[in-house]
A and B are shown apart, each in its own frame.
Chain A
Amino acid sequence: MTDPHMDAPLNEYADGTLAARDRASVEAHLAECAGCRTAVAELRALVAGAAALPKTIEPSRDLWATIETRIRQPATWNVQRFWRGALAAAAMLVLAVGIYRLFRVPRSDLRVGEGQGWAVVQADFDRASDELSRILAVERERLRPETVALLERNLAVIDTAIAQSRAALARDPASAELRRFFAAAARQKVELLRWAARVAAS
């Protein structure tokens, strides 16, 4: 292993970009340090290997059909994207307002109307989640099967977290920690659905 302070000079020396005044001192160091000589040899081999990598890699499927669709009907495509984006943004807003409402409920109100703030947020979250799920259902077949499988695994994990936080909140509706836990899980689900819908749509 070389001295970390030698990292930059050795890289620049190997690249041939080191200033002339520094080159002599690096060469003097190299004459005495076998580790740095090895490092320079490895750097040069790495740079040569990188430059020799194939410049062309064919995609595993023909991408032209999608490109052609997008450039053929830019207006329609843009409008569709706009509405999908607007719906997703609306769903996020509903959720954000719900979470804000939950956190701003004073503890005294929670004690009086126990569970009321939670019910409102639950409804808001369900609405946002359903809206995004509907968008995703339309575009789902565009995703790779591996991506769908991963999406479902992630959703299952998040749904479990949401179910657990719901059950815990039912027992202790005034717990700020549980509310934060629910909010984080709910936000994550909406983010994931939104990401999947966006990937599928593109």
Chain B
Amino acid sequence: MHSDPTDLIHRAQQGDRAAFEALYRAHAGRVYALCLRLTADAAQAEERTQDAFVRAWERLATYRGESAFSSWLYRLTVNEVLLGRRAERRREQRVVTTDDPAALERPRGADPASGSALDLERAVAALPPGAREVFVLHDVEGYRHQEIAALAGIAVGTSKAQLFRARRLLREALNR
């Protein structure tokens, strides 16, 4: 059964959790995919997905319908991931001393149609975080450099440099 998204959003804005759950069901896969590719870590992606939906619930009243609900939700998700990433960057660098937790939490659930897509997913997951974030946002999600710069708190030139670096590293990895 497909409910009218506008009606679901309106009901959720009134505090209807069942309507919000329907919105979650409709968008969870897309939000999780975004989180997974940005973090390259399944456990973090689950955490960020939950954070994004909780934040969406808290901010539903601010959604006025100027853009598609999905665009609003995905932008909020990117914001959650990048803000969380900035806050944790230093802590993670200090904490991970003896092993790479990401190796235990490699992306799961992705079932790309071809081997080359799988290779690309793996290569993207192995990129350095800054390059990976810009590549995912620009080349996978279609954001422009100006938008990425605003979301990530970096200069437009930095966004471009990270993208070109990511592509260079990916070409090297895929040509191996």
Q: List A residues at the B interface (Cβ < 8 Å).
A: 7-8, 11, 39, 42-43, 46-47, 49-61, 63-64, 66-68, 70-72, 74, 144, 146-147, 150, 153-154, 157-158, 188, 191-192, 195, 199, 202
Q: 8 closest pairs, A vs B, by CB? A: A56-B29, A50-B139, A57-B33, A146-B104, A71-B57, A59-B32, A157-B98, A57-B110
- Is the CB–CB distance between B17 and A63 below 8 Å? no
- Is the CB–CB distance between B17 and A146 below 8 Å? no
Could you say which of B20, B91, B171 contacts A195, with CB atoms under 8 Å apart?
A: B91
- Is the CB–CB distance between A46 and B170 below 8 Å? yes
Across-interface contacts of A144 in B (CB, < 8 A): 43, 105
A47-B139, A67-B54 given as contacts; is B94 within 8 A of A58 (CB)?
no
The residue in chain A whose Cβ has the minimal distance to the Cβ of B105 is A146
Of the listed residues A68, A147, A158, the one surrounded by the most CB atoms of chain B closer than 10 A to its CB is A68
- Is the CB–CB distance between B20 and A50 below 8 Å? no
**Interface size in chain B (residues, C-beta < 8 A):** 59
Across-interface contacts of A153 in B (CB, < 8 A): 98-99
Across-interface contacts of B164 in A (CB, < 8 A): 7-8, 11
Q: Roughly how many angstroms separate A150 CA and B105 CA in the complex, as a whole number? A: 11
Across-interface contacts of B21 in A (CB, < 8 A): 64, 68
- Is the CB–CB distance between A191 and B91 below 8 Å? yes
Across-interface contacts of A146 in B (CB, < 8 A): 104-105
- Is the CB–CB distance between B47 and A202 below 8 Å? yes
Across-interface contacts of A154 in B (CB, < 8 A): 95-99
Q: Roughly how many angstroms separate A191 CA and B25 CA in the complex, as a whole number? A: 36
The residue in chain A whose Cβ has the minimal distance to the Cβ of B110 is A57
- Is the CB–CB distance between B32 and A58 below 8 Å? yes
- Is the CB–CB distance between B46 and A150 below 8 Å? no
Across-interface contacts of A46 in B (CB, < 8 A): 120, 139, 167, 170-171, 174
Interface of A is mostly: helix
Q: Roughly how many angstroms separate A55 CA and B121 CA in the complex, as a whole number? A: 12
- Is the CB–CB distance between A60 and B109 below 8 Å? yes
Q: Roughly how many angstroms separate A57 CA and B57 CA in the complex, as a whole number? A: 22
* 18 intermolecular pairs with C-beta atoms under 8 Å apart: A42-B171, A43-B171, A50-B120, A52-B117, A54-B111, A56-B29, A57-B109, A58-B29, A58-B32, A59-B45, A64-B25, A67-B53, A71-B17, A71-B57, A150-B104, A154-B98, A154-B99, A199-B43
Interface residues of B in 118-171 (CB under 8 A from A): 120-121, 124, 135, 139-140, 142, 160, 163-164, 167-168, 170-171
Contact of B108 with A by CB under 8 A: yes
Across-interface contacts of A67 in B (CB, < 8 A): 24, 50, 53-54, 57
Q: Roughly how many angstroms separate A104 CA and B31 CA in the complex, as a whole number? A: 50
Could you say which of B36, B50, B105, B140 contacts A50, with CB atoms under 8 Å apart?
A: B140
A51-B140, A57-B110 given as contacts; is B167 within 8 A of A43 (CB)?
yes
Of the listed residues A53, A64, A150, A153, the one surrounded by the most CB atoms of chain B closer than 10 A to its CB is A53
